[in-house]
Amino acid sequence: MMAGLMSVSSRSAWIQRSFKGWIRGGIIQQQALLCVGGALAPPGDCIVTVEQAVSVWTQCFQQHGISEALLSSDYIIAHVLGKKTLQSLERRRLQEKLSDKQREEVWALCSKRLTSMPVQYVIEEWDFRDLTLKMRPPVFIPRPETEELVSLVLKDLQSLWRRSSLRCLEVGCGSGAISLSLLHSVPQLQAVALDQSQEAVSLTKENAERLGFLDRLDIYHLDIMKDTDLTVRSCSPVDVIVSNPPYLFSDDMESLQSEILRFEDHSALDGGLDGMSVIRQILTLAPRLLKDEGRMYLEVDPRHPPRIKSLVEERMLGLQYLGSHCDFTNRLRFCILQKRG
C-alpha cells in the first residue's frame, strides 16, 4: 500500500508507537495517541508545546510519505493559532503549550492531511496575492503561476486604468482568485466569471461576498464547450478576457501527485489529448466576446504558445498574437492576444 494512502488504523498504530517513545524520552508528557471512531485523537491530558507539535507531525508526515511534511505542519498549526505561518510568532510562543482545544484541532486537521488531502483544503483557505480565499474540494487550488498571470494583466493594463469603466471576463473561475484579485486592484473594474462546475461557481460567489466584491462581479454557471451562444449573450462585450483553463495533456494526468488526482477536479486540469480542447474554444469565442482591440491573457502549458500562435495566424480567428511570457521557472507560460479592430 502506498505510504500516503495507509489506513487510519495503521497510521494510528504508528503514531501510538512513536508517542510512547516520545513520552519515554520526555518529549511529550502523558499517554499515547488514541484511535477513536476511525479518527486520530490526541492523547488526553497531554502537554504539547507548539514546537513539539510541529516536530511530532512533521515526523509523522514524513513517515507516511506526505509531501512537504514540515510546511504542512507549519501551515496547519499556524492556522490553529490564528497565524499564516509560525515564522510570524515570537520565539517564546513556540515554547508555549497548546490548549486542549488547540491540541484537538491540530490533531483533527493533521489527521486529514494524513489522507493526502492538500493543506489548502485542510485549513479551508489560501492566500492569493493580497487576498485570503476560502478553499474546499474539489475546486481547483490556484498556483503561484496564476499570481504571475494577474500581475501581467495589471501591468499591461495600466494605460487603461484612466477609463471610467473596464469590464473583464474570467473563463474557468474556480475559487474566483483571478477576478477577485483584479477587482481588488482596479476600483473601476466590473467583472464576469464563469465555470462549468457548480462547486466552483458557489465558492467564487462565497469569496466575492466575503471580500465585498459581489456588487462588481457577475458569476455564471456556464460551460463554454456547450453553452456557446448563452456565454456570448451573458458575458459580452468585455475589454479583457483572462483564463487559466485546463491545459494538461491527458497523458500527463497520470503523472500528477496522488493528492491532486484524488482531491482536485479533473475537469479543471485535463485539457484533452493535446491540452488545447478548452483553449481552442476560448480562441474561437474571443472575437465575439471582446471589444475591438480588447485583449486576452491565457495561462498555458509551455508547449502551447507556438501552437496557439500558428493556430491564430493560420485560421484567421479575428485575433492577433501579441506575444508570450515566461513564468518564474523560465518556462513559456502566458500568451497575450488582441482582437483585430
Asked if residue 302 has a cis previous peptide bond (ω within 30° of 0), the answer is no
How far, in Å, CA of 173 to CA of 163, rounded? Answer: 25
229 & 208 share domain: yes
Region 191-209 average pLDDT: 98
167 & 28 share domain: no
55 & 102 share domain: yes
Overall residue count recorded for the chain in this entry = 341
This prediction has a pTM of 0.87
Res. 39: pLDDT tops 70: no
Q: How many CA atoms lie within 13 A of 165 on its CB side?
A: 6
Residue where a domain terminates, one of 123, 152, 178: 123
Q: Which tops the pLDDT comparison, 171 or 341?
A: 171
Structural domain harbouring 188: 128-339
Taking the CB of residue 312, how many other CB atoms lie within 10 A of it?
Answer: 18
Helix axes 50-63, 100-113, angle to 10 degrees: 20
257 & 209 share domain: yes
How far, in Å, CA of 269 to CA of 275, rounded? Answer: 9
- Dump pLDDT digits (tens) for 71-120: 999 999 999 999 998 988 878 888 899 999 999 999 999 999 999 999 99
Percent of the chain with pLDDT over 90: 75
194 & 283 share domain: yes
Q: How many domains does the chain have?
A: 2
Average pLDDT, the chain: 88
153 & 291 share domain: yes
pLDDT tier at 338 (50, 70, 90 boundaries)? Answer: very high
103 & 145 share domain: no
77 & 180 share domain: no
Cell of 166: 473596464
Res. 284: pLDDT tops 60: yes
Nearby residues of 110 by Cβ (< 8 Å), 6 or more positions away: 40, 57, 60, 61, 72, 73, 76
Residue where a domain terminates, one of 100, 123, 146: 123
167 & 305 share domain: yes
Region 211-232 average pLDDT: 97
pLDDT for position 165: 85
